[in-house]
């Protein structure tokens, strides 16, 4: 539960470390909406290539890229496999009574390309940003304080709860628990989830006590120095150029 191997609480070591997280967040969001609005194949191919180039420039570890794309494309493969048979259109392949259409295949490839382009760009722009810094960036972009605080604390608890879950599952395995489709399994899982929640409540109380000891008054102070610099402006202008290029390819 540590966030798929990304540094939830660690430092940013990617090639985009010098760029303000707010610019990175905004760029990722705008790129995502532009990418999903594309329909022309050349524009979609370009979007995927730009995402891939971003991953290379940001020096995202290959293992992280592989795992993320594997998780995405394993699901997307089902789209590619089923959509040609679900959409009517020009016959591409006929097997028994089942017909695969060209339109369905094109739509499946479109969705596949959009999803991969956006995920690659998200990896490139946000993989290295520690979650607390991301929370502060969201706060500075106008997200309500309460949401930001909850996001911040949720991140704080993720590793804790994930570790607790692993410990409890290990204890169950040590007692020869094997999940099956029966009442014993559901009752055991219910106890597991219940105990996880009980322990998370207890942990929340201990964390609050520890924070009060350190003078917590309900406000979170950031060590992240979020200041716009010339390089951020240059990055934003370059990003706008890339998006303009994609839209030009789409309109051609």
Partner 1 sequence: MHIMEGFLPAPHAAGWALASAPFVAHGVWRLGKAVRKHPETKLLLAASGAFCFVMSALKIPSVTGSCSHPTGTGLGAVLFGPSVMTVLGTIVLLFQALLLAHGGITTLGANVFSMAIVGPWVAWALFRIVRGVGGSLAVAVFAAAALGNLATYVTTSMQLALAFPDPVGGIAASFAKFGTIFAVTQVPLAVIEGLITVVVVNVLSANSRPELQALALLPKEAR
DSSP state at residue 94: E
Footprint of partner 1 on 90-149 (CB under 8 A): 111-119, 122-123, 126, 131, 134, 144, 146-147, 149
User: Measuring CA to CA, which residue among 124, 102, 147, 126 is closest to residue 52?
Assistant: 124
| Binding letters toward partner 1, positions 169-188, x by CB under 8 A | --------------x--xx-
Output the smallest distance, CB 225 to partner 1, in A: 21
CB-nearer residue toward partner 1: 154 or 173: 154
Footprint of partner 1 on 4-63 (CB under 8 A): 4, 6, 8, 25, 28-29, 32-33, 35-37
Footprint of partner 1 on 202-241 (CB under 8 A): 203-205, 207-208, 211, 218
Show contacts of 56-61: CB within 8 Å, 24+ apart. Answer: 57/15, 57/16, 57/124, 58/14, 58/15, 58/16, 58/123, 58/124, 58/125, 58/127, 58/128, 59/13, 59/14, 59/15, 60/14, 60/123, 60/124, 60/127, 60/128, 61/5
CA 122 to chain centre: 7
Output the smallest distance, CB 192 to partner 1, in A: 9
Contact stretch for partner 1 (CB under 8 A) within 172-180, 191-199, 221-229, 233-241: 191-199
Output the smallest distance, CB 66 to partner 1, in A: 13
């Amino acid at each position: 539960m540590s966030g798929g191997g990304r540094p939830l609480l660690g430092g940013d070591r990617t090639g985009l470390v010098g760029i303000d997280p707010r610019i990175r967040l905004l760029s990722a969001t705008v790129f995502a909406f532009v990418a999903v609005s594309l329909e022309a194949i050349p524009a979609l191919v370009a979007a995927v290539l730009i995402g891939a180039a971003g991953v290379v420039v940001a020096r995202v570890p290959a293992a992280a890229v592989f795992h993320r794309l594997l998780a995405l494309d394993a699901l997307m493969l089902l789209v590619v496999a089923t959509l040609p048979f679900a959409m009517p259109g020009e016959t591409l392949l006929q097997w028994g009574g089942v017909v695969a259409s060209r339109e369905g295949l094109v739509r499946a490839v479109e969705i596949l390309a959009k999803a991969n382009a956006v995920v690659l760009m998200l990896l490139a722009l946000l993989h290295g940003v520690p979650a607390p810094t991301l929370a502060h960036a969201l706060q500075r972009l106008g997200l309500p304080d309460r949401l930001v605080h909850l996001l911040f604390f949720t991140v704080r608890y993720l590793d804790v709860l994930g570790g607790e879950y692993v410990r409890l599952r290990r204890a169950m395995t040590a007692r020869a628990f094997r999940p099956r489709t029966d009442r014993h399994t559901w009752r055991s899982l219910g106890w597991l989830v219940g105990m996880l929640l009980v322990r998370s409540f207890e942990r929340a109380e201990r964390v609050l006590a520890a924070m009060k000891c350190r003078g917590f008054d309900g406000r979170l102070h950031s060590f992240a120095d979020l200041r716009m610099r010339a390089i951020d402006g240059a990055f934003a202008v370059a990003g706008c150029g890339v998006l303009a290029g994609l839209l030009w390819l789409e309109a051609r």
